[in-house]
Structure 1
């Protein structure tokens, strides 16, 4: 058989393959987050959690017989680097992006994806945001291509300030945060809500510091002490929270901390004994109240990665579950069809029923406020990340419907073809 005849036969065989064989390649997911620098520990932990979820879904057959594949991309916490990586992902034929660390990055990605999808309808991208919580992303800057699986900062601050209402020992509050869009939002909303719910409380400090650049927070803690604050409110995350809490512990600061991320990698170890009954967190993750399915998943994660590892980012699990559900429903990996199918979906999450709200693509889910405590096997069953002896005791659970806030989103939806 000559070469031309052989090529013709090969082409005919490819055409004769069943449809499933033509779709045997993996569905790639770009993970764009910091994997180097001061926030690398946070990015690395997120990568492990995403890979864990992908492995579990692949073991069940993936989506429509196709397996998922995670493509890690180190953005060094830079919006500019993230846009360059987005372009690389598009060039590599990747249609799904996970990101969560830094609203400055998320904002750049939303804008970049909107522009790409308008210019290149055959190379569209869906953004699964698992942790960037600037409220604008599901309000004035909402996008059909963006889905948020964490509660936004306004929702979290509503929960925090509600718990402050009956605490008369709170008299002087110091607000400290990171100097970018998220930190600005936390400062603005915290002041508004405290004034509204506790007009008797004095705001004695409101300070922003550079993101992921401060190595010694002792000068900031000295200002908190000088202001005689009894309570600190902070949206800090990653090394900025761990180092802040460590400096407070070393200085003997007796103030209570209200945080968003005290359970995240690095923070529980930094908190230690000094934080018992003093450090609080608002979160969608509450392992003490977990059903058996979630407990099994926690234990499987610890078995794979180590006993002090904690799979606290259940937003990733929910994102992968919803993505797979939408692909199976549409029998497609087409970004527009999948995005449309994800809108408005309700399903059982790790801690109750959750909903991807159609109006703005904001996940509506239960939230918890909890206090740092010693593991006792009863109220505190699971240790926090990096520890064996400390965890969080649930103070209050806020049902999903009560966490929902109104949205100003004016969603612009593309036309989606019904054809396969």
Structure 2
């Protein structure tokens, strides 16, 4: 049976004792002090609305953790965090319109992540905005947009990524594939935009280096968010003779892909970025046990016997008890905690000061550690490759989304092992100020 969560008071106490955090009854921020505002630009409608909703739950949960300890301390006292959500409809133009609304409201922190295409456009727009409006600068905190260019050739002083990039995630998956003697032929399938293209590129390059004997028998990109029936794609995979599939698909594009494979009786190993979420475990079912893998910075069964990790997960499930809401991103909690710490260190919400406080910042809890690389603003943290298991078999403590299926760690990579070299040539505010003709 799926894990049953205890009474809310018990969970709050267990989380506080295990992590060292204050209980939710911690002193509130002084009355009259304005909140520190965060603006989340995300697709809250359309085919990936469920992914946007999952992000919002996670961000609100993280904000509540900070506010439960009284908020963020500035020289005039403690300020609560406040989240405003802007619907980008998962489109670039809509996201840019929402950014204009956000900056008009003088919200200093922009959060986005479910689209690398949107993230790239936001980086460009924020670079220009911050140069034109030095009294209204914003910082961009990226929790999921993993195209390597965002911390590579498009790196920006104003952008910080808190997720492992696509090359890092692929490196973790290939670390497992290279030891699988039964992997002989691989089919690549992904969404046809910058992220999906980068996943395919990384898979080809890294497989060639790690396992040159493996044949790539298919390389397919499909329209993002528009395919309703993946049966024709599954037929191509079957015809290719592939024994392994690698995909970066997320949201409904992943759920429908694996569901089609299951319905067709196609039994392959799936190496994925996101198979542990948003309906995928239930859609895969028994067909995924021992064959479907996902990579993440943490998962509920990641750390055996760690009370702090278990209490963290239980506290989230107590906050959001519906099975469909069971998708906890540790990196979003890390992001909000690191932002709050950086603001306190900077003693201001000024974008330049907070950015400098984030550069090189360290995060450490009783079950996770990370550091923000100063050269490109890429968070360096552990990665886990986990394989799907039945809860009833007793090898895992928690299932996903009440499905009866969860994930068990197969490979752990320490932070130093996940880091890929930085190629960023970052322009900093003093560089822009000294550029001839720069607008202020």
Q: What is the TM-score when the length of structure 2 is the normalising length?
A: 0.87
Match of 1:259 in 2: 272
Q: Which of 398, 414, 418 is residue 403 of structure 1 equivalent to? A: 418
For residues 397 and 101 of structure 1, the distance between their equivalents in structure 2, rounded to whole angstroms, comes to 25
Match of 1:3 in 2: none
Q: Runs ≥4 in structure 1, deviation > 6 angstroms?
A: 20-23
Q: Which of 118, 135, 142 is residue 131 of structure 2 equivalent to? A: 118
- Does the CA-based 8 Å contact 2:40-2:111 persist in structure 1? yes
Match of 2:146 in 1: 133
Q: Give secondary structure in 2 for the equivalent of 1:289.
A: coil
Match of 1:52 in 2: 61
Q: Which of 260, 283, 286 is residue 273 of structure 1 equivalent to? A: 286
RMSD, aligned α-carbons: 1.7
For residues 302 and 180 of structure 1, the distance between their equivalents in structure 2, rounded to whole angstroms, comes to 33
For residues 366 and 87 of structure 2, the distance between their equivalents in structure 1, rounded to whole angstroms, comes to 29
- Does the CA-based 8 Å contact 2:62-2:332 persist in structure 1? yes
Q: Give secondary structure in 1 for the equivalent of 2:218.
A: strand
Q: 1:346 Cα deviation (Å)?
A: 1.2
For residues 35 and 264 of structure 1, the distance between their equivalents in structure 2, rounded to whole angstroms, comes to 17
Q: Which of 297, 307, 314 is residue 292 of structure 1 equivalent to? A: 307
Deviates more, 1:369-378 or 1:314-323: 369-378
Q: Give secondary structure in 1 for the equivalent of 2:79.
A: coil
Matches within 5 A, 1:145-156: 145-156=158-169
Q: Give secondary structure in 2 for the equivalent of 1:97.
A: strand
Give the number of aligned pairs. 396
- Does the CA-based 8 Å contact 1:100-1:129 persist in structure 2? yes
Deviates more, 1:342-351 or 1:392-401: 342-351
Which whole-Å deviations, capped at 9, do the CAs of 1:160-179 have from their partners, x for residues lacking one?
Answer: 11111121211110000000
Structure 1: segments with no counterpart, 5+ residues? 1-19
For residues 244 and 351 of structure 2, the distance between their equivalents in structure 1, rounded to whole angstroms, comes to 45
Q: 1:115 to 1:349 in 2, by over 3 A?
A: farther
- For the pair shown, the structure with the greater C-alpha radius of gyration is 1
Match of 2:346 in 1: 330
Match of 1:319 in 2: 335
Q: Which of 67, 83, 86 is residue 73 of structure 1 equivalent to? A: 86
Q: 1:362 to 1:377 in 2, by over 3 A?
A: farther
Q: Give secondary structure in 2 for the equivalent of 1:24.
A: coil
- Does the CA-based 8 Å contact 1:301-1:311 persist in structure 2? no
- Does the CA-based 8 Å contact 2:383-2:413 persist in structure 1? yes
Which whole-Å deviations, capped at 9, do the CAs of 1:315-362 have from their partners, x for residues lacking one?
Answer: 110110110001111221111111110000112147432100101000
Q: Which of 99, 105, 120 is residue 118 of structure 2 equivalent to? A: 105
Q: 1:415 Cα deviation (Å)?
A: 4.2
Q: Give secondary structure in 2 for the equivalent of 1:337.
A: helix
Structure 2 residue 380 is matched with structure 1 residue 364: yes
For residues 266 and 100 of structure 1, the distance between their equivalents in structure 2, rounded to whole angstroms, comes to 20
Q: 1:387 Cα deviation (Å)?
A: 2.3
For residues 219 and 403 of structure 2, the distance between their equivalents in structure 1, rounded to whole angstroms, comes to 34
Which whole-Å deviations, capped at 9, do the CAs of 1:31-67 have from their partners, x for residues lacking one?
Answer: 1111111100010011011111111111111112111
- Does the CA-based 8 Å contact 2:396-2:407 persist in structure 1? yes
Structure 2: segments with no counterpart, 5+ residues? 1-28, 432-440
Which whole-Å deviations, capped at 9, do the CAs of 1:249-276 have from their partners, x for residues lacking one?
Answer: 0001111100000112121221112111
Matches within 5 A, 1:368-383: 368-376=384-392, 379-383=395-399
Q: What is the TM-score when the length of structure 1 is the normalising length?
A: 0.91
